[in-house]
Amino acid sequence: MKVVIVGGVAGGASAAARIRRLDENAQIIVFERTGYISYANCGLPYYVGGVITDENQLTLQTPGSFWDRFRVDMRVRHEVTAIDTEKKIVTVCGLDTGKTYEESYDKLILSPGAKPTQPNMPGIDSDKIFTLRTVEDTLKVHKFISAEKPKTATVIGGGFIGIEMAENLAELGLKVSLIEYADHLLAPLDFDMACAVHAQMESHGIRLMLNTAVTGFETKENTTVTKTAGGCEIASDIVLLSIGVTPDTALAKEAGLELGLKGSILVNDKMETSAQDVYAVGDAVEIRHFVTGKKALISLAGPANKQGRIAADNICGGNSVYRGSQGSSVIKVFDMTAASTGINEAAAKAAEIDYERVVLSPASHAGYYPGGKVMTMKVLYEKKTLKLLGAQIVGFDGVDKRIDVLATAIRAGMKATALADLDLAYAPPYSSAKDPVNMAGFMIENIVTEKVKQFHHDEVDALPRDGSVTLLDSRTPMEYAGGHADGFMNIPVDDLRERLSEIPKNKPVYVMCQSGLRSYLACRILSQNGYNCYNFSGGYRFYNLVKQ
Amino acid sequence: MKVVIVGGVAGGASAAARIRRLDENAQIIVFERTGYISYANCGLPYYVGGVITDENQLTLQTPGSFWDRFRVDMRVRHEVTAIDTEKKIVTVCGLDTGKTYEESYDKLILSPGAKPTQPNMPGIDSDKIFTLRTVEDTLKVHKFISAEKPKTATVIGGGFIGIEMAENLAELGLKVSLIEYADHLLAPLDFDMACAVHAQMESHGIRLMLNTAVTGFETKENTTVTKTAGGCEIASDIVLLSIGVTPDTALAKEAGLELGLKGSILVNDKMETSAQDVYAVGDAVEIRHFVTGKKALISLAGPANKQGRIAADNICGGNSVYRGSQGSSVIKVFDMTAASTGINEAAAKAAEIDYERVVLSPASHAGYYPGGKVMTMKVLYEKKTLKLLGAQIVGFDGVDKRIDVLATAIRAGMKATALADLDLAYAPPYSSAKDPVNMAGFMIENIVTEKVKQFHHDEVDALPRDGSVTLLDSRTPMEYAGGHADGFMNIPVDDLRERLSEIPKNKPVYVMCQSGLRSYLACRILSQNGYNCYNFSGGYRFYNLVKQ
Ligand SMILES: Cc1cc2nc3c(=O)[nH]c(=O)nc-3n(C[C@H](O)[C@H](O)[C@H](O)COP(=O)(O)OP(=O)(O)OC[C@H]3O[C@@H](n4cnc5c(N)ncnc54)[C@H](O)[C@@H]3O)c2cc1C
Ligand SMILES: Cc1cc2nc3c(=O)[nH]c(=O)nc-3n(C[C@H](O)[C@H](O)[C@H](O)COP(=O)(O)OP(=O)(O)OC[C@H]3O[C@@H](n4cnc5c(N)ncnc54)[C@H](O)[C@@H]3O)c2cc1C
Ligand SMILES: CC(C)(COP(=O)(O)OP(=O)(O)OC[C@H]1O[C@@H](n2cnc3c(N)ncnc32)[C@H](O)[C@@H]1OP(=O)(O)O)[C@@H](O)C(=O)NCCC(=O)NCCS
Ligand SMILES: CC(C)(COP(=O)(O)OP(=O)(O)OC[C@H]1O[C@@H](n2cnc3c(N)ncnc32)[C@H](O)[C@@H]1OP(=O)(O)O)[C@@H](O)C(=O)NCCC(=O)NCCS
Q: Note the pLDDT tens digit of each residue in B236-247.
A: 999 999 999 999
Contacts of A377 in chain B (CB under 8 A): none
Give the gap in angstroms from C-alpha A500 to the nearest C-alpha of chain B. 13
| C-alpha–C-alpha distance, residues B214 and B119, integer Å | 10
Parallel, antiparallel or unpaired: strands A285-288 and A265-266? parallel
Number of H helices, E strands in chain A: 16, 31
Using one digit for the tens of pLDDT, what is the confidence trace for A370-396?
999 999 999 999 999 999 999 999 999
Residue B457 three-state SS: helix
Choose among A114, A80, A110: nearest CA to A247. A114
* Sign of the torsion formed by the C-alpha atoms of B131, B328, A357 and B24: negative
Nearest atom (ligand 1) to Cα of A43: 3
> How close is the Cα of B433 to the center of ligand 3, in Å?
9
Contacts with B, A 29-68, CB within 8 Å: 40, 42-43, 46, 51-52, 57-58, 60, 68
| C-alpha–C-alpha distance, residues A167 and A154, integer Å | 12
| C-alpha–C-alpha distance, residues A32 and A40, integer Å | 14
- Please tell me if residue B327 touches chain A, with a CB cutoff of 8 Å: yes
Using one digit for the tens of pLDDT, what is the confidence trace for A114-170?
999 999 999 999 999 999 999 999 999 999 999 999 999 999 999 999 999 999 999
User: What element of type H or E holds A87?
Assistant: none
Using one digit for the tens of pLDDT, what is the confidence trace for A160-200?
999 999 999 999 999 999 999 999 999 999 999 999 999 99
- Chain pair A-B, CB pairs under 8 angstroms: 241
- Please tell me if residue A2 touches chain B, with a CB cutoff of 8 Å: no
Of the CA atoms within 13 Å of residue A420, those in its CB half-sphere come to 21
Residue B390 three-state SS: strand
Comparing alpha-carbon positions, the chain B residue that sits nearest to A22 is: B524
Using one digit for the tens of pLDDT, what is the confidence trace for B343-393?
999 999 999 999 999 999 999 999 999 999 999 999 999 999 999 999 999
Contacts with A, B 130-169, CB within 8 Å: 160
Comparing alpha-carbon positions, the chain B residue that sits nearest to A57 is: B368
Largest alpha-carbon pair distance within chain B? 89
Flag residues of chain B having pLDDT under 70. none
Q: Which of B300, B320, B368 should one mutate to test binding to chain A, selecting the residue with the greatest count of A CBs within 10 A?
A: B368
Give the gap in angstroms from C-alpha B542 to the nearest C-alpha of chain A. 23
| C-alpha–C-alpha distance, residues A288 and A188, integer Å | 17
Q: What is the pLDDT of residue A31?
A: 98
| Ligand 2 binding residues, C-beta < 6 A | A 426-427; B 6-7, 9-12, 31-34, 41-42, 44-45, 79-80, 111-113, 132-134, 160-161, 248, 251, 282-284, 299-302, 304
Instruction: Reply yes or no on whether B523 is catalytic.
Output: no
* Residue A514 Cβ < 6 Å to ligand 4: no
Neighbours of B283 (CB within 10 A): 28
Q: What is the pLDDT of residue B548?
A: 84
Contacts of B438 in chain A (CB under 8 A): 302, 306
Contacts of B15 in chain A (CB under 8 A): none
In one-letter notation, the amino acid at residue A383 is K
pTM of the model: 0.98
- Bridge partners (DSSP) of residue B214 are B228
Q: What is the pLDDT of residue B45?
A: 98
Contacts with B, A 403-422, CB within 8 Å: 403-405, 407-409, 411-414, 418, 420-422
| C-alpha–C-alpha distance, residues A136 and B515, integer Å | 33
Q: Considering only CA atoms, which residue is closest to atom 19 of ligand 2? A: B300
| C-alpha–C-alpha distance, residues A225 and A218, integer Å | 5
Contacts of B466 (CB under 8 A, 6+ apart): none
The DSSP-derived string for B216-231 is EEEEETTEEEEEETTS
| C-alpha–C-alpha distance, residues B431 and A453, integer Å | 38
Neighbour-count burial for B207-227, b at 16+ CB within 10 Å, e otherwise: ebbbebebeebeeeeebbbbb
| C-alpha–C-alpha distance, residues B472 and B464, integer Å | 13
Please, what is the average pLDDT of chain B? Answer: 97
| C-alpha–C-alpha distance, residues A22 and A1, integer Å | 12
Burial class (CB in 10 A: 0-12, 13-18, 19+), B441: buried
Contacts of A415 in chain B (CB under 8 A): none
Using one digit for the tens of pLDDT, what is the confidence trace for B427-451?
999 999 999 999 999 999 999 999 9
Q: How far is CA A294 from CA A290, A349, A416, B255, B306, in A?
A: 8, 13, 21, 60, 37
- Angle among Cα B235, B240, B243 to the nearest 5 degrees reads 115
* Contact between B393 and B340 (Cβ < 8 Å): yes
Comparing alpha-carbon positions, the chain B residue that sits nearest to A40 is: B368
Q: CB B369 to CB A52 under 8 A?
A: yes
| C-alpha–C-alpha distance, residues B91 and B102, integer Å | 4
In one-letter notation, the amino acid at residue B82 is A
* Contact between A299 and A245 (Cβ < 8 Å): yes
| Ligand 1 binding residues, C-beta < 6 A | A 6-7, 9-12, 31-34, 41-42, 44-45, 79-80, 111-113, 132-134, 160-161, 248, 251, 282-284, 299-302, 304; B 426-427
Q: What is the pLDDT of residue A306?
A: 98
Contacts of B43 in chain A (CB under 8 A): 366, 368-369, 428
Report the first-to-last Cα separation within chain A, whole angstroms.
61
* Contact between A212 and A232 (Cβ < 8 Å): yes
Q: What is the pLDDT of residue A548?
A: 84
* Contact between B450 and B433 (Cβ < 8 Å): no
In one-letter notation, the amino acid at residue B399 is V
Per-10-residue mean pLDDT for chain A, 548 residues long? 98 98 98 98 97 95 98 98 98 98 98 96 96 98 97 98 98 98 98 98 98 97 95 97 97 98 98 98 98 97 98 98 98 98 97 97 97 98 98 98 98 98 98 98 98 97 96 98 97 98 97 98 98 98 94
Helices (H), B237-367: 250-254, 301-315, 345-350
In one-letter notation, the amino acid at residue A500 is L
| C-alpha–C-alpha distance, residues B281 and B2, integer Å | 18
* Contact between B168 and B52 (Cβ < 8 Å): no
Comparing alpha-carbon positions, the chain B residue that sits nearest to A59 is: B368
| C-alpha–C-alpha distance, residues B46 and A369, integer Å | 8
* Residue B310 Cβ < 6 Å to ligand 4: no
Tell me: ipTM over 0.95: yes
Contacts of B426 in chain A (CB under 8 A): 42, 300-302, 328-330
Number of H helices, E strands in chain B: 16, 31
| C-alpha–C-alpha distance, residues A43 and B427, integer Å | 8
Give the gap in angstroms from C-alpha B429 to the nearest C-alpha of chain A. 7
| C-alpha–C-alpha distance, residues A59 and B57, integer Å | 48
* Residue A493 Cβ < 6 Å to ligand 4: no
Choose among A487, A493, A492: nearest CA to A460. A487
Backbone angles phi, psi at B368, to 5 degrees: -80, -10
